A and B are shown apart, each in its own frame.
Chain A
Amino acid sequence: MVAYPVVVADDLFKALADPTRRTILDELTEKSGQTLFEICSRLSMKHRLGISRQAVSQHLAVLEAAGLVETRREGRCKFHDLNTGPLRQIAERWLVPGTSGPKESAP
Chain B
Amino acid sequence: MKIHLTSVFVDDQAKALRFYTEILGFVKKHDVPVGEKDRWLTLVSPEEPGGTELLLEPAGHPIVATYRDTLVKDGIPLAQFAVDDVTAEYERLRGLGVRFTQEPLDMGPVTTAVFDDTCGNLIQIASAAQSR
Interface set of A (CB-CB < 8 Å, partner B): 31, 34-38, 41-42, 45-46, 53, 75-79
A37 touching B77 by the CB < 8 A rule? yes
A-contacting 9-mer, from B17-25, B49-57, B85-93, B99-107: B99-107
Select which of A38, A42, A46, A78 is within 8 A of B73 by beta carbon: A78
Smallest Cβ distance from A71 to chain B, in angstroms?
A: 11
Number of A-B residue pairs at CB separation under 8 A: 51
Between B101, B105, B107, B108, the greatest number of chain A beta carbons within 10 A of the residue's beta carbon is seen for B101
Known A36-B74, A45-B107, A46-B107; contact A77-B101, beta-carbon cutoff 8 A: yes
Task: Return the contact of A41 from the options B69, B73, B99, B105 (Cβ within 8 A).
Answer: B105
Determine whether the beta carbon of A41 is less than 8 Å from that of B72: no
B116 contacts across to A, CB distance below 8 A: 75-77
B107 in contact with A38 (CB, 8 Å): no
User: Which residues of B sit under 8 angstroms from A35, Cβ to Cβ?
Assistant: 74-76, 101-102, 114
Are A34 and B107 CB-contacts (below 8 A) given A75-B116, A76-B73, A77-B72? no
A60 to B116, CA, bound (A): 24
Interface residues of B in 58-110 (CB under 8 A from A): 69, 72-77, 99, 101-103, 105, 107-108, 110
Is residue B112 within 8 Å, beta carbon to beta carbon, of the partner chain?
Answer: yes
Q: What are 13 A-B pairs with beta-carbon distances under 8 A?
A: A35-B114, A37-B74, A37-B76, A41-B112, A42-B105, A45-B110, A46-B107, A76-B72, A76-B73, A76-B116, A77-B72, A77-B122, A78-B75
